[in-house]
Amino acid sequence: MSSTRSFVSRKIHSLLGVIPVGLFLLEHMITNYSATKGLEEFQKSVAFLNNLPFVLALEIFFIWLPILYHGIYGVYIAVQSKNNTTSYSYYRNFMFVLQRISGVVTLLFLGWHFYETRLQVALGNVTHEQLGLLMRDVFLNPVTYSLYMIGVISAVFHFCNGLWSFMVSWGIAVGPNAQRKVAYVSFALFLIISVIFILAMNAFTADSFIAKG
């Protein structure tokens, strides 16, 4: 791959990780958090998304194709990349490795989650109205709950740590001071988003989830 083509590909990969893939993560966070208000509110959130105009086209061109490109090219980068402790600090190299690992875990998790939810709806095995109860069953199982926890935390970390790389590679955070501040903000976002997702996951398992519905 030529240096120019590689540069452009990496820029596209970085951009897609924030827009629209990152926005998709945040949308998922908001939708799932509605479960804290009960089954009925969660169903309303799901119905709102699925009643959007051209929803299938939006999913294909603004969610799944960007995720596929970001994921597949990300795996290529992970395989090709090597740590450089002479140019970067130990901490940044450690985050570099975690970014690659979390990316692979996230890609596998998304494939599993897609199979369990969106694909089952497309095949007619599950309706949109049944997704809340489906997720409740998933989270009531300690094994699948743990696997989802690993997948969700990996996805959130990959997004938040990727924000740092995005800000640096696009020339938004220039210099050690700016990059340090972005790192603090990214870590704070990681904590906040992770907590919201965990609260949402636990909401599905609460007795009040069905009672409110």
The tokens of 123 are what? 């095949």
Q: Which residue has the tokens 């935390």?
A: 153
For residues 150-173, average pLDDT: 94
What CATH fold (topology level) applies to the domain 3-212?
A: 3 helical TM bundles of succinate and fumarate reductases (1.20.1300)
pTM of the predicted structure, to 2 decimals: 0.92
Query: Is residue 143 over pLDDT 80?
Result: yes
Q: What percent of the chain has pLDDT over 90?
A: 77
- DSSP secondary structure letter of residue 90: H
> Is 132 in contact with 201 (CB distance < 8 Å)?
no
* Least confident window among 3-7, 103-107, 141-145, 182-186: 3-7
Residue 92's pLDDT is 81
Residue 2's pLDDT is 64
Domain ranges for the chain, please list them. 3-212
Residue 1's pLDDT is 53
For residues 118-124, average pLDDT: 93
Residue 76's pLDDT is 87
Residue 103's pLDDT is 94
